[in-house]
Amino acid sequence: MSRIRAFCGLAVLAGLILSAGCNNNSGSVANVSGDSLTRDEFIDQLQTKRTVRVVGNNGQVVEARVADTLAFQAMQDLVTRKIVMQLAKDEKVAPTEKEVDAEIEFRTKLEPAFIKELQAMGFTLQGIRQNVMSELAQERLLTKGITVTDAEVDKFIADNPNQFKEPAQVDLTWIFAKTEDKKNQAQKALDSGMLFKMAARQYSDAPNAAATDGKFPVRDLSALAPELRTKLEATEPGKTTDWIVASEGSAKFFVNSKTAEKKIEITKERRELLRRRMAIKRGSEASDLTKRVQEKLRNAKIDVQDNALKDMWKRFEEKLKQSASNAKLPETTTGGSGGTTPAPGTTGSTPAPAPAGETAPATGTTTGTTTGTTTG
């Protein structure tokens, strides 16, 4: 669940770096009590930042080290996108602008908030179009010559009923206290009658608690740690849990609402999404897209002008040539097989048809596959 939230930021980062370049890194990003935070400072931090905050399966926000700088990962993604598009053109499967329009309409039918959610993460409309075009190109490279019949789709649905259920959801507010003293302060405020969200805003150590009124970032019950899930299942809406021991502190939850598991309607769009998933799986078994992209990347002439990225790219090219068998393609940005899977009608980024197992859920709302190249 954390992966999509972490990697979607790379697309935003890439856009910021590129836009800063176009503006000659001039101007101010923010003003801090009279002190200007310049765009130069901002870009320098992005180019050298070695950790990111991610949301774990238990819902806690933790610091994680990155394999390379975020700027370098973003550049890898962008270079690989170019390589994928060139490969699609070579094989005459590159999508047209009209086909991109149709794909965005398709994704919006699956998830009406598709555009708004990506814009909320910093994507521009042009950026969304570019990502959709790249994802369509990947899908077509994988599925060229592959056919999945209606009968095969019907059989998959009949054989995998559990894949067509919307998981139980829970809307939570929480207080995370790193110390016993902070926990006691929060509990005293609650005992005095303070609203839970106000106490979360004032006392919680969770990142962004003040800005979100303590909104817990995970809704899917099945994505939570078993101990926490058991506690929440036993707590009625409008009630709070006891304090729960968590890594580096304690947590208390207020249950705003719950939604029980239910069957998902198999609409025309979801059937098409499933058909495409199945085609991608077959295509990935018959054709190694990663290898094809790596080969084209190795033979490409790539001139990196940015001094902060030039040496890293040289080392990457050496690794790519020496260790192709250990390389893999990084995540896409508007979808991908490594994201979360909110059911239709819920919020959050969702996975697309991807070369996953036959039990892969068919309820995602985007159709991206995995692209890019990284080495270990």
- Listed by start position, the domains of the chain span 72-158+265-326, 170-260
The residues, any chain, with a CB within 8 Å of residue 274's CB and separated by 6 or more, are 153, 156, 157, 353, 362
pLDDT at 276: 97
pLDDT in tens, the chain (376 residues): 333 333 344 444 444 444 444 444 457 888 898 899 998 888 888 888 888 888 776 556 778 888 888 888 888 999 999 999 999 999 999 999 999 999 999 999 999 999 999 998 889 999 999 999 999 999 999 999 999 999 999 999 999 998 899 899 999 999 999 999 999 999 999 999 999 999 999 999 998 888 889 999 899 998 898 999 999 999 999 999 999 998 789 999 999 999 999 999 999 999 999 999 999 999 999 888 888 998 898 889 999 988 888 888 988 888 887 765 444 444 444 543 333 222 222 223 333 333 333 333 333 333 444 444 444 4
CATH ID of 170-260, from 3.60.150.10, 1.10.10.10, 3.10.50.40, 3.30.70.980: 3.10.50.40
| Stated pTM of the model | 0.64
Number of Cα atoms under 13 Å in the Cβ half of residue 225: 12
Within 10 Å of residue 32's Cβ, how many Cβ atoms?
7
Residue 101 has a pLDDT of 97
Rounded Cα distance between 26 and 224, Å, is 44
- Phi, psi of 91, rounded to the nearest 5 degrees: -95, 5
Sign, CA dihedral 132-133-136-138, equals negative
CA distances from 53 to 3, 5, 113 (A): 11, 9, 25
